[in-house]
Amino acid sequence: MAVEEKQSAARFDPASFERFRFVSRDLGADGRVTLRYALDERVSFVEEFDLPSSVSPDELAGERIQGLLSLLHWVAGVSYFKTAAPPQVSCETGAPPPAAAKLLEALYSEGLGEFAYTNALPALPRPRFPRSAAAGAEGARAPGLREPARVLVPVGGGKDSAVALEIVRRSGLELALFSIGDAAAIARTVAVAGLPHLLVRRRLDPGLAQLNRSGALNGHVPVTAIVSCVAALTGALAGFDAVAMANERSASSGNLMWDGIEVNHQYSKSLPAERLLASALAEIGGAPSCFSVLRPASELAIARAFARMEPYHGAFTSCNAIFRTDPSLRAPSWCCDCLKCRFVFLVLAPFCEPAHLREIFGRDLLEEEDQFEGFALLTADGGPKPFECVGEEQESLAAIRMLAQQPRWASHPVLRRLVEEVLSGQPSGAGDPGQALALGSDHDVPEALMADVRAILGA
């Protein structure tokens, strides 16, 4: 538990700390992962995961599992580092190998770009991680080149993971689903998929919330990197050789420039972060590979594919309100009043009947005139791309162009205003649906899956 010795009731002063410490890590035979951290000698943290499989003594001692456990320890620490963002880190159980250190320096800087910007820090955190001299050459096993045989697909309850798992299913490769927690949308998606499910439970340090109330820095962290590392460790213990994430190409598009970097709300979902993680995993002999099977596609193309997967339409929810930390604040389904709800509604609309979307969301958001400003923000009309997991502005413009040609949506007042007040001010080539829907070539999807990617995500 986070405890500031002799000062637990005092105001937390982030500037008073010099060092974030990676203290210890443990994996028990029952699958319990215990990660310990500290700020100087004054505040300690403990985070736990319960993995769904027991661990043999030989596995516990093996370099593969210890390497994956170490990587998880270093990556998950970002949730506690951010409380003070001190200038130094110390790795007390051994220094990371070179590619892992490079990944960590990116996650603890660019991965905290939004956090630093919204907290008005004087500069981006830039902690320097030590490098292990004993490690093999960085990227000793070329990442992304191995063809997978058994694939683990993380599921978050949204449309993207449903499309990802169906791509892998179509390939004929053996697969199972993975999740941290079993929120209702996750459980429903797993039930529709009818596939084996590896469920992990996570417990953040219970004192973290109190520190936040007492003055600790708080904000967005690169959580997808943490999920990826948990999935890799879980998959390795269960005999899987690949983790197929559901991160699209839009995730590589940032929000704004600050302190010399592009701040990206989805940094740990981006292709640069994916490749850094792949290189870090490549340093661990026998570790699963990790790639995003949706990387060639835009959110709009994924929505088109998902629109054809009707069994999932009553199961999924992409609204982040269902994942709020405070249970009393969680929404049971779509809140219909956030940028994520509006974006998912917008990109599904060209491929769905209005009545069907009303059935999914409980409301028709393009009928509600007070939603206009929120939809306009998705096109960066009046400001930068919002800090939310939404697609690029060009995708939203493309969806509006497509809807403007469809009589079934023509009478919707929000669409009419978007066409008249937003689309009319854009260059003629902006929001080209053909470009938005085309698959890109900058990705690391294994060739064994590319035919299935094209079949599901193509026209």
DSSP letters, 55-111, are: --HHHHHSHHHHHHHHHHHHHHTHHHHTTT--SEEEETT-PPPHHHHHHHHHHTTGG
Residue pair 263/310 in contact by the 8 Å Cβ criterion = no
User: In sequence order, which ranges of 87-222 are alpha helices (DSSP H)?
Assistant: 98-107, 113-118, 159-171, 184-193, 208-213
Q: What are phi and psi of 58, to 5 degrees?
A: -65, -40
The two three-digit tokens of residue 277, written as one number: 């993680």
The pLDDT value given to residue 59: 82
Instruction: Write the CB contacts of 294 (distance below 8 Å, at least 6 apart in sequence).
Output: 160, 163, 164, 167, 245, 246, 247, 248, 302, 453, 457
User: 452 to each of 7, 83, 294, 351, 436, how far by Cα in Å?
Assistant: 57, 43, 11, 21, 20
Q: What are phi and psi of 269, to 5 degrees?
A: -95, -5
Ranges of beta strands (E only) in 134-260 are 150-154, 174-180, 197-203, 242-245, 256-258
The pLDDT value given to residue 292: 97
424 class by beta-carbon count within 10 Å (0-12 exposed, 13-18 middle, 19+ buried): exposed
Question: What DSSP designation does 322 have?
Answer: G
DSSP for 12-52, written as a single string: P-GGG--EEEEEEEEE-TTSEEEEEEEETTTEEEEEEEE-S
From first to last of its 459 residues, the chain has per-residue pLDDT tens of: 565 544 444 789 999 999 999 999 999 999 999 999 999 999 999 999 999 987 888 888 899 999 999 999 999 999 999 999 999 999 999 999 999 999 999 999 999 999 999 999 999 999 999 999 654 444 444 554 578 999 999 999 999 999 999 999 999 999 999 999 999 999 999 999 999 999 999 999 999 999 999 999 999 999 999 999 999 999 999 999 999 999 999 888 888 888 888 998 899 999 999 999 999 999 999 999 999 999 999 999 999 999 999 999 999 998 876 665 556 555 667 899 899 999 999 999 999 999 999 999 999 999 999 999 999 999 976 667 777 778 889 999 999 999 999 999 999 999 999 999 999 888 888 889 999 999 999 999 999 999 999 999 987
Task: For residues 229 and 143, give the distance between their C-alpha atoms in angstroms, rounded to a whole number.
Answer: 15
Residue pair 112/145 in contact by the 8 Å Cβ criterion = no
Instruction: Write the CB contacts of 417 (distance below 8 Å, at least 6 apart in sequence).
Output: 369, 372
Task: For residues 233 and 66, give the distance between their C-alpha atoms in angstroms, rounded to a whole number.
Answer: 9
Domain with CATH 3.40.50 in the chain: 13-131+146-292
Query: 172 in the Ramachandran plot: left (φ > 0), alpha (ψ -120 to 50) or beta?
Result: left
The two three-digit tokens of residue 281, written as one number: 């995993």
The pLDDT value given to residue 57: 81
Amino acid at position 212, single letter: N
Q: How far is CA 347 from the centre of its chain?
A: 19
Amino acid at position 431, single letter: G
The pLDDT value given to residue 382: 62
Instruction: Write the CB contacts of 35 (distance below 8 Å, at least 6 apart in sequence).
Output: 25, 46, 47, 48, 49, 72, 73, 76, 77
The pLDDT value given to residue 44: 97
Task: For residues 60 and 65, give the distance between their C-alpha atoms in angstroms, rounded to a whole number.
Answer: 6
Instruction: Write the CB contacts of 172 (distance below 8 Å, at least 6 apart in sequence).
Output: none
The pLDDT value given to residue 53: 82
The pLDDT value given to residue 329: 56
The domain defined by 13-131+146-292 carries CATH number 3.40.50? yes
The pLDDT value given to residue 225: 98
Q: What are phi and psi of 348, to 5 degrees?
A: -80, -30
